[in-house]
Chains A and B, each alone.
Chain A
Amino acid sequence: MTIQTLDQLLQENENLRFRLEEAEETIRALRGGEVDAVFVESGSEHIYTLESIDRPYRLLVEQMPHGAGTLTAEGAIIYGNRRFAELLGQPLVEIAGKPISSFVVPDSLSVLETLLHDGKLAEVEGEVTLQRASGGTFPVYLGVCALAEGIRGLCLVVTDLTEQRSYRELKRTQKALRESEERLASDLAAAQRLQEISCRMIQEGDVGQLYHQILDAAMGIMRSDMASMQMFVESQDALRMLAWRGFDPVFAQTFDLNRPDTRTSCSVAARAGHRVVVPDVETCDFIVGTPALEHHRESGIRAVQSTPLVSRGGRLLGMISTHWRTPHEPAERDLRLLDVLARQAADFIERAQTEKALRDADRRKDEFLATLAHELRNPLAPIRNAIEILKARSVPQQELEWSCGVLDRQVQLMGRLLEDLLDISRISLNKLELRKERVELATVLQSALETSRPVIDAHGHELSITLPTVAVYLDADPVRLAQVFANILNNAAKFTDKGGRIYLNAEPLGDEVAVSIKDNGVGIRAEMLPSIFEIFAQPERSLMRPSDGLGIGLSLVKGLVEKHGGNIQAKSDGPGEGSEFLVRLPLAGETPVPVSVSPPEDREQPALAKGRILIVDDYQDSADSLAMLLRTMGNEVETAYDGEEAIRAAAAFRPRMILLDIGMPILNGYEACRRIREQPWGREMFLIALTGWGQEQDRRRTEEAGFDLHMVKPVSAAALMELLASLSPSKPGRRRL
C-alpha cells in the first residue's frame, strides 16, 4: 500500500464518517419532526411534503384564535400551537416540557389542579389567571379534557378573557351611558314639566287643576305612588289638605288637619322648618307606638317625605309630601329637583294668596261703596217727602209733627253714618282721641242697652243679662265704650231671626273683664271669621240684608276696643249656629260695689192708613212719607212693609198701582211681584219696582220678574202722579222712566 493509497483511505474514511454523521443527523431530524419534506430522485426529481394530509387540521390548530396544547398526565406541556405560546409569552421551544402550573398565578393553582384532575375523567372548564414571564397577568378560560388516544395526557384549550372582559366592560359602559342618557332625558322631561308648570302658574285660573299638576310633577320626580299638598292655616296653627293624588278619599279625612303635635312627617317638617324623610314608617321613632302608625297603614303609606313650602320671606305656606307603598329612600338628585318644584309651588301659593287678598279687598271696597251709596240715599226719600208735605199749604198739625219726626230721625241716621265713617278714618289715621275716665262697666252697658233696646225689641228678641255681682271699674271713654257694646248688640239683633235670644255676659277674669254678647242668629261662616273685623267686611250683598249698616261697625268696634287696650274675638260654629263676640278689657282696679241693671222701657211703633195705591217698603219712613204725600194729592194709599204683607194687601185692597221695594225681609220684591202676577186680579195691576240699585242687571231682573217699571230711589211724587195720569184705564203698557 502506498502512502498515497493510505491518504486516500484516510480521506475516504473521513468522507464516510462525515456522511454517516449526516445520515444520522437526517434520521434524528426526521424522528424529531424537524423536517416536513423529502427529496426523492427516481428518474426525475421530486419533493414530497409531509404536511399535505393533515394540513387543514394543522392550519386550524395553528391559526385558531384560542391557545391549544397537550399536556402530560402530570401537567407538563408537550405541545402548543402558536397562540398558546403567545399567551404564555414565550416561544414554543421554551415552554415545551415545563409544567403548566409554572404559568399560573398562585391564587389560581388550586383551580388548575382541580381542572387537571377532573379533566382526566370528563370535559371540564374554569377560569384561571395566567402569569407571563414578563410579569403581566391576564384571565383565561381553560377547557381541559383527556387525550382520547395515543399518549396518556390532557388536551387544553385556552381562551383569553381580557378581550371578553373589555367587551363586557364596554357593554357595562354602554349600559351606564344609556342609563345616564335616560336619566338626562328624564331630567329634561322633569325640567320641562317644571317649566310648563311655572307657565301655567302665570296663566292658570283654575287653582285646583294646578295643584294636581304640581302633585303629578312631584310624583314623576320622586317616582312615588302618592302625593299630597297642604296649606298652612295660621289661625289654626295646622296644615290643611289642599289636594292629593293616588289616595282614597279616606286619606283626606284621616289626615285633613295636621296640628303641630300630629305624628306625621308633615307636622314634624312644619315644626322643624325643613324636610323630613321617613324611609320606612314601621321603623320611624315618631310614628311607631302611636295610633298614627295604623293611620299610615290604612292609607297604604310605607315611606314618605315632606318638604315645606316656604315663602321668600321665610313664612311657612304649606307642605308637599310624596308617599311610597314600599320602604323607600329618595335619591339626593330627586330631592334637589323636588326643591325646585317646591320653590315654584311656594311662589305660586304666595302669589295666589296675595292676589286673593287684593281681589277680596277690592271687592269689599266696591261693595262698601255700593252699600254706602245705598245707605246715604235711603234717608233722602223720607226727607224729601217730609219737605214736600211741609211745603204744602195748611198742613194738619199731626202731619206737621210727623214730618218733623222723619226729618229728625233721618238726619240723625245720616249723621251717625257719617260719624262712623269719620271714626273709622280717625282710627286708621290714629287720630281718634279717647276721653278716658274712671267708669263702671255696668253704667257703660246700660248706656249701650239704651241705644240698642229699640232694635232688639223691634226684632222681638229676648235679652238675658248676667253681670258681675260686684262693680267693675274701667279707665275708659264711656261714650266710645257704649258705642262698642251698642254696635255689637245691634249686630246681634240684626243678624238674628225675629224672636231670637241674645245673651249679654260680663265677668271679671284676673286683671281683665270679659264681656260676651252671644246670639242664636244666622252665625258666621268659618271662612268669614278671620276677616270679619276688617273694614268693608260684610256678609255678601243680600236681599235679606237688614236695612241699615255700612259694614264698618265691627271694624270700628275692634279699633275702639284696641284703643282701650283690649281685644275682641268673634266665634261661630257656622251658618245658623249663632255668633259670639267676646270683648276683653283691662280692669282699672278697685273698690268693688254691687250693682244692678234694669232693662230700658219698650217703645211703640207707629201704624198707618189706606188708599188705591199700594206702597211696599221695609224702610217704613220711606213708605209712610210717600203714602202721606200721595194722600195729600188726593189718592187712596195703603202701605205694606214686607213681601208677604204686600200680597195680602194687594189681594184685599186691589190697588191700581203698586210700588214695590226689592230688598225686603221675608219675601223680596221680585218674588212678591211674581206671586201677584200669578193672581187673576194681579195681571192688570201696574207694578213699579222701587230700588236703590239702578244697575242694568237690576233692571233686567225686575223686568223678568214681571214689573212694568223700574224706578231708582228716591222717587219723585210728581213723577208718580204724572205716571198715574198717563195710565189708560184698561191695559197698562210697559214703560220705563
Chain B
Amino acid sequence: MKTESHEPQSLAELSASVTGGPNAWELRLYVAGKTAKSVAAFENLTKICEEHLAGKYKIEVVDLLIHPQLAKGDQIVAIPTLVRKLPEPIRKVIGDMSNVERTLVGLQLRQAKS
C-alpha cells in the first residue's frame, strides 16, 4: 500500500478527496473493507482516472462489509467491482483493475482490440 502521511481509515473516506466537476463521470467502487484487491482496485482506479479523466470524475466507494445491503442495487457478486453510473449506459468492471488495458476497454475509454 502506498505510504501516505495520513493513513485513511476507510476507502470511503478516501473518496471524499476525489471531487467531480461538470460532465463528471460518476463511478462507484464496491469494496470489502481493506482486502488487498479492494485496495489495489482503488489505487489502480484513481491512477487510471487521473490519467484519462482528470478533473471530471467522481468516485464513490461503497464498503460492503459495512453496508452489505447496498450490494443488491447493482447486483454485485464479486468484489471489488466498479460500476460506471454515468455516463450511461451502466458498465461494470470486475476485479482489481490491475490490467489497465482491459479496464480502459471496460469503461469504454478505449476500443477493444480485435
User: Which of B32, B33, B78 has a CB less than 8 Å from the CB of A29?
Assistant: B78
Evaluate contact between A26 and B94: CB separation under 8 angstroms: yes
Bound-complex Cα distance A47 to B68 (A): 7
Evaluate contact between B79 and A38: CB separation under 8 angstroms: yes
B37 interface residue per 8 A CB criterion: yes
Give the interface SS of chain A, mostly helix, strand, loop or mixed.
mixed
With A47-B32, A47-B79 already in contact, the answer to whether A36 and B64 are too (CB < 8 A) is no
Bound-complex Cα distance A46 to B100 (A): 29
B93: nearest residue on chain A (CB-CB)?
A: A25
With A34-B94, A93-B98 already in contact, the answer to whether A45 and B35 are too (CB < 8 A) is no
Within 8 A of B (CB), among A45-87: 45-47, 49-51, 58, 62, 82
Evaluate contact between B95 and A32: CB separation under 8 angstroms: yes
CB distance from A489 to the nearest CB of B (A): 113
* Residues of chain A lying within 8 A (CB to CB) of residue B76: 39
Evaluate contact between A35 and B80: CB separation under 8 angstroms: yes
B40: nearest residue on chain A (CB-CB)?
A: A34
* Residues of chain B lying within 8 A (CB to CB) of residue A30: 78
B31: nearest residue on chain A (CB-CB)?
A: A37
Q: Which of A25, A28, A29, A51 has the largest number of chain B CB atoms within 10 A?
A: A29
* Residues of chain A lying within 8 A (CB to CB) of residue B1: 82
A22: nearest residue on chain B (CB-CB)?
A: B92
* Residues of chain B lying within 8 A (CB to CB) of residue A36: 32, 35-38, 79
Bound-complex Cα distance A723 to B38 (A): 139
Q: Which of A28, A30, A47, A58 has the largest number of chain B CB atoms within 10 A?
A: A47
CB distance from A408 to the nearest CB of B (A): 126
User: Which of A37, A41, A47 has a CB less than 8 Å from the CB of B37?
Assistant: A37
* Residues of chain A lying within 8 A (CB to CB) of residue B9: none
* Residues of chain B lying within 8 A (CB to CB) of residue A28: 94-95
Interface size on B, residues (CB 8 A): 30
Q: Which of B78, B97, B100 has the largest number of chain A CB atoms within 10 A?
A: B78
Bound-complex Cα distance A35 to B100 (A): 15
Evaluate contact between B35 and A37: CB separation under 8 angstroms: yes
CB distance from A680 to the nearest CB of B (A): 122
* Residues of chain A lying within 8 A (CB to CB) of residue B36: 36, 51, 58, 62
A38: nearest residue on chain B (CB-CB)?
A: B78
Evaluate contact between A47 and B92: CB separation under 8 angstroms: no
B99 interface residue per 8 A CB criterion: yes
B60 interface residue per 8 A CB criterion: no
With A36-B32, A36-B35, A45-B72 already in contact, the answer to whether A26 and B96 are too (CB < 8 A) is no
Bound-complex Cα distance A37 to B37 (A): 8
* Residues of chain B lying within 8 A (CB to CB) of residue A39: 64, 68, 71, 76-79
* Residues of chain A lying within 8 A (CB to CB) of residue B109: none
Bound-complex Cα distance A45 to B79 (A): 14
B114 interface residue per 8 A CB criterion: no
Bound-complex Cα distance A38 to B30 (A): 11
With A26-B77, A37-B64, A37-B79 already in contact, the answer to whether A45 and B99 are too (CB < 8 A) is no
B16 interface residue per 8 A CB criterion: no
Q: Which of B36, B38, B76, B80 has the largest number of chain A CB atoms within 10 A?
A: B36
* Residues of chain A lying within 8 A (CB to CB) of residue B68: 39, 45-47
B65 interface residue per 8 A CB criterion: yes
Bound-complex Cα distance A590 to B38 (A): 134
Within 8 A of A (CB), among B68-102: 68-69, 71-72, 76-81, 92-100
Bound-complex Cα distance A28 to B94 (A): 9
With A26-B78, A30-B78, A45-B72 already in contact, the answer to whether A37 and B94 are too (CB < 8 A) is no
B30: nearest residue on chain A (CB-CB)?
A: A39
Residues 88-121 of A, flagged 1 when their CB comes within 8 A of B and 0 if not, give 0000110000000000000000000000000000
With A34-B98, A35-B80, A37-B78 already in contact, the answer to whether A25 and B37 are too (CB < 8 A) is no
A14: nearest residue on chain B (CB-CB)?
A: B89
Bound-complex Cα distance A50 to B97 (A): 17
Evaluate contact between B33 and A25: CB separation under 8 angstroms: no
Q: Which of A30, A38, A49 has the largest number of chain B CB atoms within 10 A?
A: A49
* Residues of chain B lying within 8 A (CB to CB) of residue A37: 31-32, 35, 37-38, 64, 78-80
* Residues of chain A lying within 8 A (CB to CB) of residue B98: 34, 92-93
* Residues of chain B lying within 8 A (CB to CB) of residue A47: 32, 64-65, 68, 71, 79
Q: Which of B31, B37, B80, B106 has the largest number of chain A CB atoms within 10 A?
A: B37
Given contacts A37-B38, A39-B78, 6 further A-B contacts (CB under 8 A): A30-B78, A34-B98, A35-B80, A37-B78, A49-B33, A51-B35
A residues contacting B by CB (< 8 A) are 22, 25-26, 28-30, 32, 34-39, 41, 45-47, 49-51, 58, 62, 82, 92-93
12 contacts between A and B (CB under 8 A): A25-B106, A29-B78, A35-B80, A35-B95, A37-B35, A37-B78, A38-B77, A39-B68, A45-B68, A45-B71, A49-B33, A51-B36
What 5 pairs between A and B have smallest CB-CB spacing? Answer: A34-B95, A37-B32, A29-B95, A37-B79, A45-B68
